[in-house]
Amino acid sequence: MIAFLTKRLMHAILVMFVISVLAFAIQGNLGDPIQQMVGQSVPESEREALRERFGLNDPFHTQYLRFAANALQGDFGFSYFYREPALDVIARHLPATLELVFGATLIIVLLSVPIGVYSAIKPRSPISRFFMGVSIIGISVPVFLTAIVLIQIFSIGMTVSLFPQDTAWGSWLNGFLSTEGGMPSFGRGQDLTHMVGYWDSNLFTLGGLRHLALPSIALASIMLPLFIRLIRAEMQEVLQSEYVKFARAKGISLRRIYFVHALKNTLLPVITVGGVQIGTMVAYTILTETVFQWPGMGLMFIDAINRADIPLIVAYLMIVGVIFVVTNTLVDLVYGMVNPTVKLTGKPA
Amino acid sequence: MTFNKTLMATLVGAAMTGSALLPMTALAETTLRVGYNADPETLDIHEQLSGGMLRFSHLSFDPLVRWTKDFKFEPRLATSWEQVDETTLRMTLRDDVTFHSGNPFTAEDVAWTIERLKESPDYRAIFEPITQVEAIDDTTVEIKTAEPYPLLLNLATYVFPMDSQFYSGTTDGGDEKSEIVKAGNSFASRNVSGTGPFVVTERRQGVRVDFERFDDYWDEESPGNVDRIVLTPISENAARVAALLSGGVDFIDAVPPNDMDRVREANGVNLIEVPGTRIIGFQLNEELVEAFQDPRVRLAVDYAINQEGIADRLMRGFATPAAQFSPEGYSGHNPDLTPRYDVERALELMAEAGYEDGFEVDMIAPNNRYVNDAQIAQAVANMLARINIKVNLRTMPLAQYWPEYDTRQSDIAMIGWHADTEDSANFFQYLSACFDEETGAGQYNYGSYCNEEIDALVAAADTETDTEKRQEMLREAERMLYEDAGYIMLHWQNLAYAAREGVDVEPVLNALDFPYLGDLVVKE
C-alpha cells in the first residue's frame, strides 16, 4: 500500500513536471499578455518596459527555471488579471467547480443505476426502449446545446402554439408544453452559505440549489447515457452468469438476486469508468461553466486563455493534472477494496 | 438523507413546474442588476485605459466635465472654465463635494490627480501636453500647456479627481498608497475613494461587484433613483442575452447582432441602439506589396468594397457605413464624403495602374475583437476577388492578433479604432500618420502609408484653438485621405444595449459606451 502510494506520488510529480514544461512551451502561441494590460494607444516603449518587468523577454529556460524554483516553494506565480497568486485564484474557483461536479455526479448516480438495472431486467419493455433511444440522443448532443435548450425552456420560458388554440385539446397541449421559465440562467446566485476558507456553498439554500440545478443537469447529460448503457450491459452479462442462474434455481427472491447479488458485481467496472470520467468531467465543466457563467475553474481557465494570463494557465493545467492522478489513485484504492484479487503494486495477480 | 431528498425535490420540482418557484420578491429599495461583458479590471482608475475602467470611473468617480449625447461638454465637478491666456485654462470647481471617505473635495485633489495621470503608463501620452497644474484656491485650478492646445476640455473628461488624502501615505507593508502598479497588488487597486454616485461595497473579481448609492452625493438634481447596483460580468454573448430574457439581470451591454431580433421581439425587454464612434477598416501594407503604393490600386480596393452591403446584411443594420475616420458629431466629420462602391470603376482603376490581371495577397483579421470581425474580413476578401485580387485570409483570437499585427508581415490587416480624445486628429495621428518610431507617430499605421501634407495639416490643427478654423482643417484632412484612399474605411460599429421594461436607460446612454448609471431612473 505504501509502496503503491509512493509510486503514485512519483507519478504525480512527473505529470506536473511534464505539464509545466508543455504549458510553458506553448505560451509563445497564447499571445501577448501585455496587450491585454494596456490601452491600445500606449506606446511601444511602455509595453517594452512592462515586458521587461514581467520577465517576458528572458529566454525560455531562464523563465522556466525561475518558475520551477518558485513552484517548488509553493509559489505558482501571480495572475496578471486577478492580481493575486495563481494558487489563491484557483482555490477560490475550485469549490464552485467541485459543487457542480458533485451535483452532476449525484444526478448520474441516482438516475443511471435504476434505469440501467431496469432496462437490463426488462430489455424489451417500451420504457427500456424509450430510455435507450433517449440516451443515444443524449450522447450525440453537445453539452452547450443542451445547456442553451435548458436555458430556453426553464429560464426564459417558451410559448408553444403548435396545436390549434381554438380546440380544447389543442389549447391544453399548448399550455402543457409551454413553460414560463424563471430558473436562474447564470452564476451561483447570492444565497451562498459561507463554509470555510474559500468555500462558499450553493448546497444549503433553496436559492443556491436552484442556481445549481440547470448547470448540473447539463453537465450530467453527457455522462448519464454512458452510465445507463454501461450498467445495462454489465448487468445483462451478470444475469447470464452461472451463479445468478443457481441463485434463481435455489429460489432466492428476484429482488434479492437483482439488487444484492447481481448489482454488486455490475458496479465493479462502473467504478473504474466512473473514476476516470470524474476527471473528464472537470474538463467538460469548461463548456458548461461558460454557458451558465458559473464562476468555477473552467470559466476562469477560458478567460485566462483569452487574456493570455500565462501564470494562471500553467497553474490550472498542473492542478488539473494532479486532480487526474488523485482520482485515478482513489479509484485504484477503492477497486482494491471491492475486489481483493486486484493487487495494487501492479504485479500480475 | 434529508439533504438528498431536498436536492431531488428541487430538481424534480424545478423540472416539472419551471415557474413554481419564482425569484425573490421585490425589494424595498431599487436594485439594478447589470450584466456587462466585463467587470472593471482593477479599482485603480489610472492603471489601465479601457472601456470597462472608464465605465467604472463614471460610477465611483465624477469627471471634471463629461460628454453629452451630442458631443458637448457638460459641467460636473468643474462648473465653469475660461481660457486665461493662450496656454492657461482656469477651471472653477464645485465647493459642496465630498469623497466617499468623507474628505472634502478641493482643487488640490484635481492637481494631484492630473500629476498621477502623468505617471500612468496608459495616460501619460494623452496628458503629455499638460505641463503644470496649480491649485489657486480651494475651488480654482489652473491647467497650463507648453503650446496652445485645443483639446484640454477633451482631456478634462478623463480627469476623475481622486481623494488625494486617502491615497497618500504608505500601507502597512511600506508601499506608497499612490503608486500605480500594472497587474500588481497595489493599495489603489484594492481600495477606492471617489466622489461618484456609487460606493463599491463588495468586489470579487470576475464574479461580481456590488455598489451602493453614496449618501452624500453632491448631485442632488440627478433624477437617478438606483440604490444598489449588482454588476455581474457575463462574457459569453448568448449567456448575457439569456440572463436578460430570463429576468436574471435588468440591463446588458453589447447585444450581438444575431440576437437583436430575438431581443426586439421579446416581451418586457427593450433594445436600444446607439451609433458608435469606433471606425472599422483595413490597412494596405505598402512595404510588402508594391501595388499598394499606387493610389489608383488603393482607390480600386476602396471602390470594390460594398460598405452599405456589409453594414446592411452582414451587420444587420448594426453599423453606420463610413467613408472617413470621424463619425458624425466629431469636429472633423465631413458630410460630403460618402462610400463609393463601384466595381466597374474599380476594374478600370486596376487596369489603369497596370494590374488588370490582379495579384495575390494575404490578409489578417481578429475573430473575437470587433462585432462579426471574421465574417467582415471574409466578405471583403470575396469582394476583392471580383477585381482579381486574390486574398488568403487568416483570422485569429485577439490575444494572438496584436503580436501578429505588430510584426507587420501581412499584406492587409484589419483594425478598429476609437479616438481616446473623442477628436478627429487622434485617428490620423495613430492610423495614417507617417510612421516614426522616435515620436510614436503612426504607431498603428500598419501599411506605412505616408502623406506629409495630411500630417502637416493635422499637426497645425492640433495647435489651433479657434474651433471653426480647426474644424475646417480636419475636414480638409479627411477629404485628402479619402481621395488618396489612405485607409480603407468600412463602418462605425454601433452600440447595442438591452434593458427590461421600466429601466429607462435611453437617456443615460451615449456614443462613448459609458452609461451614466448615476442618472438612471428605474420605474417599478
Q: The CATH number of the domain where B505 resides is what? A: 3.40.190.10
- Are the CB atoms for B161 and B105 separated by under 8 Å? yes
Element containing residue B312 per DSSP (H, E) = none
3-state secondary structure of B415: strand
Classify residue B176: in a domain, yes or no.
Answer: no
Q: Which of B183, B403, B420 sits opposite A31 (nearest CB)?
A: B403
Residues B267 and B291 in one domain: no
Task: Say yes or no for a CB contact (<8 Å) between A35 and B245.
Answer: no
In a domain, B139, yes or no: yes
Residue whose C-alpha is closest to residue B163's, from B121, B102, B91: B102
User: Do B329 and B414 sit in the same domain of this protein?
Assistant: yes
Of A54, A210, A291, nearest to B21 by CB-CB distance is A210
B401 lies in the same domain as B489? yes
**Quick one: B150 and B41 in the same domain?**
no
Q: Are both B125 and B193 inside the same structural domain?
A: no
Same domain, B138 and B251: no
Measured in whole angstroms, how far is the alpha carbon of residue A55 from the centre of its chain? 35
Contacts of B248 in chain A (CB under 8 A): 155, 184-187
Considering the domain architecture, whether residues B97 and B204 belong to the same structural domain is answered as no
In a domain, B178, yes or no: no
pLDDT value at residue B12: 43
Interface test with B, best of A34, A38, A42 (most B CBs within 10 A): A42
Q: Is residue B164 part of a domain?
A: no
Residues of chain A contacting residue B231, judged by C-beta atoms under 8 Å apart? none
Q: Report d(CA A93, CA A295) in Å as an integer.
A: 7
At residue B174, the pLDDT reads: 87
Chain A contact set for B437 (CB, 8 A) = 44
Q: What separation in angstroms does the CA of B437 have from each of A40, B263, B444?
A: 16, 47, 11
- CA pair distance A13, A11, nearest whole angstrom: 5
> Among B14, B246, B426, whose Cβ lies nearest the Cβ of A210?
B14
Q: Are B74 and B114 in the same domain?
A: yes
Retrieve residue A143's grid coordinates: 453539452
Cross-chain residue pair B48–A300, CB shorter than 8 Å: no
- What b-and-e string marks burial along A90-124, b requiring 16 or more CB atoms within 10 Å of the CB? bbbbbbbbbbbbbbbbbbbeeebbebbbbbbbeee
3-class DSSP assignment, residue A68? helix
Smallest CA–CA distance from A37 into chain B, residue: B48
pLDDT digits (tens, 9 = 90+) for A87-113: 999 999 999 999 999 999 999 999 999
Question: What is the structure's pLDDT at B22?
Answer: 39
- B18/A31 Cβ within 8 A: no
For B398, nearest residue in chain A (alpha carbons): A306
Instruction: Note the pLDDT of residue A212.
Output: 93
**Stretch A277-284: mean pLDDT, rounded?**
78
pTM of the model: 0.87
Name, in order, each residue with C-beta under 8 angstroms of A97's C-beta and a sequence gap of 6 or more: A282, A285, A289, A294, A296, A297, A298
Parent domain of B218? 27-59+185-274+495-522
* Top-level class of domain A2-30+74-338: mainly alpha
Residues B197 and B308 in one domain: no
> Which helix H or strand E contains B209, and what residues bound it?
strand B208-213
State the virtual CA torsion across B504, B506, B512, B516 in degrees, nearest 10: -30
Task: Show the low-confidence residues of chain B (pLDDT under 70).
Answer: 1-28
Would you call B456 exposed, middle or buried from its count of C-beta atoms within 10 A (0-12, 13-18, 19+)? exposed
DSSP state of B26: P
Question: Measured between alpha carbons, how far apart are the two ends of chain A, in Å?
Answer: 15
C-alpha distance from A200 to closest chain B C-alpha (Å):
12
Chain B neighbors of A156, CB-CB under 8 A:
242, 245-246
Please list every residue in chain B whose beta carbon sits closer than 8 Å to the beta carbon of residue A41: 49, 125-126, 420, 426, 430, 443
Grid cell at residue B388: 482579381
In chain A, residues with a C-beta closer than 8 Å to the C-beta of B3 are 203
What is the mean pLDDT of the segment spanning A323-338?
82
What are the chain B neighbours of A213 within 8 Å (beta carbons)?
10-11, 14
* Cα angle for residues A67, A70, A73 (degrees, 5° grid): 145
Residue B232: per-residue pLDDT? 93
Which value does ipTM take for this structure?
0.84
Domain CATH number, residue B83: 3.90.76.10
Cα distance from A214 to chain B (closest Cα, Å)?
A: 9
The string of pLDDT tens digits covering residues A116-165 is 999 999 989 999 999 998 888 888 888 889 999 999 999 988 877 778 87
Predicted confidence (pLDDT) at residue A27 exceeds the cutoff of 80: no
The cell for B37 is 461583458
pLDDT value, residue A223: 87
Of A32, A179, A291, the CB nearest to B18: A179
Residue B5 included in any domain: no
Q: How many domains does chain B have?
A: 3
Asked if B301 contacts B355 with a C-beta cutoff of 8 angstroms, the reply is no
- Tell me, what CATH number does B324's domain have? 3.10.105.10
**Domain termination residue (choose one: B136, B156, B176):** B156
| Percent above pLDDT 90 for chain A | 26
B121, B182 in Cβ contact below 8 A?
A: yes
For position B136, what pLDDT does the model report?
A: 95
The mean pLDDT value for A343-349 works out to: 53
What is chain A's mean pLDDT, rounded?
86
pLDDT, greater one: A160 or A220 = A220
Q: Is the dihedral of CA B420, B425, B431, B434 positive or negative?
A: negative
Structure confidence at residue B450 (pLDDT) = 93
Give the chain B residue whose CA is nearest to the CA of A39.
Answer: B49
Q: 3-class SS at B34?
A: strand
**Quick one: pLDDT at residue A346?**
53
CB atoms within 10 A of CB B215: 8
Do A147 and A218 touch, CB atoms closer than 8 A? yes
B461 shares a domain with B435: yes
Say if CB B416 and CB B278 are below 8 A apart.
yes
